[in-house]
Structure 1
Amino acid sequence: MSLPPLRALRELRRLAERTPEHRDRHIDLLRAIAITAVVAGHWLAVHVTYDGGPRGGNVLELVPWTRPLTWLFQVMPVFFLVGGYANAASLAACRDRGGDAAAWTLRRTDRLLRPTTVLLAVLAGAALLARAAGADPGLVGAAVWLAGIPLWFLVAYLAAVTLTPPMHALHRRFGLAVPVALAVLVGLGDAARLTGWLPAVGSANFLFAWLAVHQLGFAWQDGRLPARPRAGLPLAFAGLAALVVLTVPGPYPISMVGLAGQEIQNTSPPTLALLALAATQAGLALAVHDPACRWLRRLRPWTVVVAVNSVIMTLFLWHMTAAVLGVLALYPAGWLPDPPPGTPLWVLLRVPWLVVLAVILGVLVVVFGPVERRSGPSPAPGAAVGVTAGVLTFAGMGVVLAGLLGVATAGPGDHGVTGLPVPALIVYFAGAGILRFTRWRCMIVPRRGLPGHREG
């Protein structure tokens, strides 16, 4: 059951006050900054016109001077970096207690999949109602597609989480050689696309690139990448230099967000240029670690960070739904003009646009945030769930990823009564059901709080 707002705030403050000493608060700050930047960047990139019906466009395609700004707003590498840190710490703690990879995976994916399942169910239900009310099927499909944009990155992150046990084993044996090898594979994939030789090979970069950044988080967690300026600043400068060389005179576009019509895009799939940006961001994160941790010892900023992290998945998953609702609320009624993008008036009107979307997202967080905060059934910390549960766990994750990939890659258009590909939805819910059954089958304990660096 959802807590009343004042009681929820008091609970968050108590949670902040009870934060254990071993927790690296800088990781939580970076996660909060990354998600906030992603939300703001997506909202700012939406351009809407209204002429008898809403029409959407991408500001980055319409206003070229905005493309360098993606170097600031493309912070998904930070999310994978801190995810690698937290996943490594959590897995190590689980193994220290005698737990196995399957038990850890069940616990770690629970908080990711519960809000995702609710999002897909709500989007499908809303599409059904809209079509029953006579809405244009193409418009319904476009709205559902826009709301589901966050699922793109979630597929890659869930894959990284699922592969954490074997990838962490490789890290313990080979250390930083693993992300270097993955970066080489990304470069080979880029070369295959740039030369036109087996361009489909480059699609593997969706996995290799994000795994490389995730591995850097492993190295940070165990000290192979020390959180000090002497390690962080050289990495940041090297990454920035490589980024400039690869994009200004080099073959990669300036924009760190994919644009329609570009032969090479830096995110679809990820490229060496995006890895250079990731190295820059990782270096800066390492360099400012100590002053950030000192600042976060203050209760007020740390409570804000705790509050954001307590609903981090809700913010991420629902922020484009807020954009869809904002369009439907503002433009048919004529409450927000649609001047040409890039003009001074357009820039000024971005402020009320962001404010309205923030209010809508706040309402969505109040409604759906408890789904993320509520504890689901999970194996006890340190549990070993056995072979049968292990097979069900990784089979279920494979089915979930297949279904989610089908949903994420469907694109805008009329995909049937649910607004989403029905076969992909069925596959996803089947995988989620397998995992739910497996969690209940194992020993279960309640679990609350922040996304932990350690289990328990």
Structure 2
Amino acid sequence: MRRLRQLAERTPPGRDRYVDLLRALAIAMVVLGHWGVTVIGYEHGRPSGHSALPDLPWAWPLTWVAQVMPVFFLVGGYANAASLAARRARGGTATGWLVDRSARLVRPTTALLLVLAAGAAVATLRGADPAQVRTVVWFATIPLWFLVAYFAVVALTPPMYALHRRLGLAVPAALAGLVALGDLGRLLGPTALADGNYLFAWLAVHQLGFAWYDARSPELPRRRRLPLSRRAGATLLAVGLVALVLLATVGPYPVAMLHVAGERLDNAAPPSVALLAAATTQLGLILLLRGPAGRLLRRPGPWQAVIAVNAVVLTVFLWHLTAAILLVGLLDALGVLPTPPVGSAIWWAWRIPWLAALAVVLAALVAVFGPIEARTRRPAGPAGPPDRPPGRAPAAGAGDRGRVARRGRAATPLAVTGYAALVAGLLLNSLAPKSAPEPLGLPAPALVAYLAGAGLLRLLRSGWGSRG
């Protein structure tokens, strides 16, 4: 508690605490949503899980708020713009920012993958079916779908922020048009035209985060700023909600913003125009609640709680399905795993002890692995291979300056390669069949690609490639 009080007291006056609150709330909604709609049963004598949404159609409109991936990318855009701008103000470079920005994302993710691979290897050596091992690991790594897209938008932040500074809100509008074109491909063909929506949709929301950050600078042109007034919030809420209702009733889109088996389209995979309409609705609601939330966060207690969650926010996200696997395995081993029918009174009554038990297991996992994320701190000044540490570099002649510049330029493709390897590794794992026989639970090429990218970025953070 003392540490939290100290962090709260050192919060810069200009920090938008509401952004941190939104990140914490979004994580909480993802975790509770996944846990709450999970149905546990038995398949071929083994525990299995699936979503209850197909059996609860009345709950589909609730996903217009419960689908919080847009909130992640919105606040991510704000945070990335703020971090990049601060880095450049200190004399740093975009490449140095990219290298350092990877640390907090990569370290907790690497811990998850290595622990899962080690556990899978032990289970395989003890005679477990590699296909069953893969199924368990596949379920535990479902959250990595999000990181595939997020790593991509982080890597694209420097050029996309530069594009935002030039064209402003026209950029997310153009990206939304590309998403609409992808949807047209899903409806009329070719369906592959929609694959780009995985990137275009989340980039569009990420760009709105840039516009939110630039709203703090009234001297900038209006096209580069997100209007933050209550009137703007009400307008966005109304426009988004009307568009969403029309798209889900008159249009061809499902009501649910999450995957529901049997529906003609999936609003989330890949993201659709309907999901962007839901994001617009959420943005309007966020702006309307901005004032009251800001007043709440000026109180020490709520702000300290937000700091505590954000210190381990990625760890909570990455491990929450592993917590479910561990609890199901324990209850199954004890012979007390409840499997009531979806929607029955017993099923609803089981939600309360189920969520409470999962919270205990996740708290234990966060206690073990949370420090990996919490220890990651942004450097106080420019750092990374292409940036010169302040006050440490000796005077250099023209030849030395040329070599430093060449090494800085070389770091840029290395950093991009590192990010590309991360995305490739996570994507390969997500696309691999969930029942493929994998002794490590993860496809070997996926694990190698990811670890190669993580290792390369770690070397760059250490200064490798910038020294003679």
TM-score (ref. length: structure 1): 0.92
Aligned residues of 1:377 and 1:440 also touching (Cα < 8 A): no
Unaligned runs of at least 5 residues, structure 1: 1-8, 445-456
Separation of aligned partners in 1, 2:146 and 2:104: 16
Q: Which amino acid aligns with 1:214?
A: H
RMSD of Structure 2 on Structure 1 (CA): 1.8
Aligned residues of 1:378 and 1:439 also touching (Cα < 8 A): no
CA-to-partner distance for each residue in 1:356-389, whole Å, 9 max, x for gaps?
A: 1111100000000010012379694277431122
Separation of aligned partners in 1, 2:64 and 2:332: 30
The verdict on how the C-alpha distance between 1:136 and 1:12 changes in structure 2, with shifts beyond 3 A counting, is same
Matched, 1:124 2:110: no
How far the C-alpha of 1:414 sits from its partner, in A, is 2.9
How far the C-alpha of 1:78 sits from its partner, in A, is 0.5
Separation of aligned partners in 2, 1:101 and 1:59: 44
How far the C-alpha of 1:100 sits from its partner, in A, is 1.1
Q: 1:187 maps to what in 2?
A: 180
Separation of aligned partners in 1, 2:286 and 2:173: 19
Task: Report SS of the residue matched to 1:331.
Answer: helix
Task: Report SS of the residue matched to 2:271.
Answer: coil
Separation of aligned partners in 2, 1:442 and 1:104: 15
Which of 67, 75, 94 aligns to 2:87? It is 94
The verdict on how the C-alpha distance between 1:424 and 1:10 changes in structure 2, with shifts beyond 3 A counting, is same
Q: 1:288 maps to what in 2?
A: 289
The verdict on how the C-alpha distance between 1:228 and 1:376 changes in structure 2, with shifts beyond 3 A counting, is closer
Segment drifting more, 17-26 vs 362-371: 17-26
Separation of aligned partners in 1, 2:291 and 2:100: 30
The verdict on how the C-alpha distance between 1:155 and 1:101 changes in structure 2, with shifts beyond 3 A counting, is same
Matched, 1:400 2:422: yes
How far the C-alpha of 1:221 sits from its partner, in A, is 0.8
Task: Report SS of the residue matched to 2:278.
Answer: helix
How far the C-alpha of 1:336 sits from its partner, in A, is 4.1
How far the C-alpha of 1:65 sits from its partner, in A, is 2.7
The verdict on how the C-alpha distance between 1:392 and 1:376 changes in structure 2, with shifts beyond 3 A counting, is farther
The verdict on how the C-alpha distance between 1:443 and 1:305 changes in structure 2, with shifts beyond 3 A counting, is farther
Matched, 1:388 2:415: no
Matches within 5 A, 1:61-72: 61-72=54-65
Q: Which amino acid aligns with 1:177?
A: A
Q: 1:222 maps to what in 2?
A: 214
Q: 1:169 maps to what in 2?
A: 162
Task: Report SS of the residue matched to 2:462.
Answer: helix
Which of 437, 443, 451 aligns to 2:459? It is 437
Q: Which amino acid aligns with 2:445?
A: P
How far the C-alpha of 1:441 sits from its partner, in A, is 1.6
Matches within 5 A, 1:231-380: 231-375=232-376, 380=381
Q: Which amino acid aligns with 2:235?
A: P
- Please say which structure displays the higher CA radius of gyration: 2
Separation of aligned partners in 2, 1:176 and 1:425: 38
Matched, 1:204 2:202: no
Aligned residues of 2:18 and 2:294 also touching (Cα < 8 A): yes
Q: Which amino acid aligns with 2:440?
A: T
CA-to-partner distance for each residue in 1:57-91, whole Å, 9 max, x for gaps?
A: 22112333332222221111001101101111111
**Identity within the alignment, %:** 55
Q: 2:442 maps to what in 1?
A: 420
How far the C-alpha of 1:131 sits from its partner, in A, is 1.5
Task: Report SS of the residue matched to 2:259.
Answer: coil
TM-score (ref. length: structure 2): 0.90
CA-to-partner distance for each residue in 1:164-209, whole Å, 9 max, x for gaps?
A: 00100110001100000000000000001111x2110101000000
Which of 77, 85, 106 aligns to 2:70? It is 77
Q: 1:4 maps to what in 2?
A: none
Task: Report SS of the residue matched to 1:441.
Answer: coil
Q: Which amino acid aligns with 1:130?
A: A
Separation of aligned partners in 1, 2:54 and 2:442: 26
Separation of aligned partners in 2, 1:330 and 1:12: 36
Task: Report SS of the residue matched to 2:319.
Answer: helix
How far the C-alpha of 1:134 sits from its partner, in A, is 2.1
Matched, 1:31 2:23: yes
Aligned residues of 2:241 and 2:281 also touching (Cα < 8 A): yes
How far the C-alpha of 1:327 sits from its partner, in A, is 1.0
Matches within 5 A, 1:153-164: 153-164=146-157
CA-to-partner distance for each residue in 1:125-184, whole Å, 9 max, x for gaps?
A: 111111122223232211101100000011111111110001001100011000000000
Segment drifting more, 244-253 vs 334-343: 334-343
Q: Which amino acid aligns with 2:246?
A: V
Segment drifting more, 295-304 vs 409-418: 409-418
How far the C-alpha of 1:117 sits from its partner, in A, is 0.7
